[in-house]
Amino acid sequence: MGAPTAVYEANRSRQLSINASTALVASVAVGFVGALGMVLTGTRIGSVPDPGHSLWWISIPSGGSPLASIGFYLSLALLIGGWLGVGREAFAGGLSPRWAWIILGAWGIPFFLGPPLFSQDIFSYIGQGVIAHHGLNPYAVGPSVLGPGPLLSSIASVWRHTSSPYGPLFVLSTKWVVSLAGGSLIVEVLAFRALELIGVALMMVSLPRLARHLGTDPGVALWLGVLSPLALFSFVASGHNDALMVGLLVAGVTLAVEGRLLPGLVLCTLAATVKLPAAAAVVFLLVDRLAVVEAARRWRMAVEAVVATSVVFIGVTLACGHGWAWLGPKALRVPTELRVLSTPSVSLGTLVAHLLHLVGVPVSTSAAVTATQYVCGLAALGATVWLLVTVRRHEVVRSLGLALVLIVIGSPTVWPWYLMWGLALLAATTAQRSRVLAAVAALAMLVVGPSGHPLLGGSWYVVVSAASVGGVVWLLRGQHWRTVVSGHAA
């Protein structure tokens, strides 16, 4: 009876594998149809260059914005459905890194070739690159200095007079890309997306290694950290420079936890010269490592780390050639200039102002929002410091990921792509099975429209405030925060 049973089990296992592969292919196909539909309808309602005057290199016949919007969101639902189907196979152990590369190609290529979606920021990047290419300082002048034209019309009006808030590595990269891409806006968009794909490739290579080191599933890490709607929309469709920052960050953290601390810190420092919040990784990784080495080596390791990161920081800044303005108050203040209701502190401040008005206290909404921004910022800073101080009690990658999420949520302005800073790292930890993270990865981008304009207005501050307060109450009630930090939250 033994041989027939073994044959039966082998055949059954083979059949289950075939069924799993079929289900995976079907999910990928559904996601591809969704991505293609979003791109085609996005040629009408997305962030097309010079809106109202130009078309993308592919486009669908004009048929009215409402019809295009319906098609866009139906396609988005298909992509989310396909992603959830892939996730079901990933949680069953059926998503290999090889399959993840195939899925990234199937879903990513349409977004790479299509018009920008959910954001106009990529045109701001181009503008800053053109400014640098002309020998001007992007930290001193905004895109308006370029004068009227298709490029300036493509940039969101709130950023046309704003200098660059980004680090010198990215500014230097924008100059190189513009010099190579020529004067066509479409070609420049594709070139900038290619630059961001460097970050995506770094994540694709590093996340499986990081997940294996932490004892989690590499396929689930890629599913959540790179293949999710939020990641695809942020890194490929929108072409945000967060992709380059997060790619360098994940690669650096991976090297550091594998035992190559200095190369890891160097990559994290490079990430900070794209966007400064990545510098948190340098501090967390160094503190975590110094706590376990013997006292005789501690000072030497600290000095080597400080020297290596300082050389990178100073070297990149000098190579950029625009001085230290990127660390000045003007550049650091730029992200606070636009107040959107998707930001907890902004919604809470708006709610406070309305409540005070009801009881006869004449406080302006602006003043109330500013006050709540300071309070939320200090609360996030305090929680981040606590995570740093207690990093040896927990797992450093998880602590760093949570710290980056806290920094975003407590910041003066929250855009959904900022959430990828911490989510990409948490995808490789035991948090990868969190339903909350999966919901964020699937739905967070819906707070902005296809053209990049915020969708939360009117009384939405009540909803955002209630969700923010409810989240804090849940964390504090029954000390759920302990399970979130320790890694046992579902």
The reported pLDDT for the residue numbered 478 is 65
Query: Can you list the pairs that 349-353 forms with residues at least 24 positions away whose Cβ atoms lie under 8 Å?
Result: 349/373, 350/461, 350/465, 351/461, 351/462, 351/465
Strand partners, 454: 448
* Average confidence (pLDDT) over 440-459: 91
Where does residue 56 fall: left (phi above 0), alpha (psi -120 to 50 degrees), or beta otherwise? beta
The reported pLDDT for the residue numbered 1 is 44
Lowest pLDDT segment from 49-58, 154-163, 353-362, 412-421: 49-58
Any idea of the CA torsion for 368, 370, 371, 377, to the nearest 10 degrees?
140
Contact between 80 and 229 under an 8 Å Cβ cutoff? The reply is: yes
How many Cβ atoms are within 10 Å of 159's Cβ, its own excluded? 22
**HSE-CB of 239 using CA atoms within 13 angstroms:** 27
The reported pLDDT for the residue numbered 12 is 46
Contact between 464 and 457 under an 8 Å Cβ cutoff? The reply is: no
Decide if pLDDT at 291 tops 90.
Answer: no
Decide if pLDDT at 19 tops 70.
Answer: no
Higher pLDDT, 450 or 298: 450
The predicted-structure confidence for 370-406, as pLDDT tens digits, reads as follows: 999 999 999 999 999 999 999 888 889 999 999 999 9
Question: How far is the C-alpha of 313 from the C-alpha of 344, rounded, in Å?
Answer: 32
Share of the chain above pLDDT 90, in %: 64
* pTM check: above 0.95: no
* Average confidence (pLDDT) over 301-312: 93
Among 422, 417, 266, residue whose Cα is nearest residue 335: 417
Q: What is the CA radius of gyration of the chain?
A: 23
Please give the mean pLDDT across all residues of the chain.
Answer: 89
Say whether 429 sits in a helix, a strand or coil.
coil
The reported pLDDT for the residue numbered 2 is 53
Q: Which residue has the tokens 């307060």?
A: 469
Question: How far is the C-alpha of 302 from the C-alpha of 112, rounded, in Å?
Answer: 42
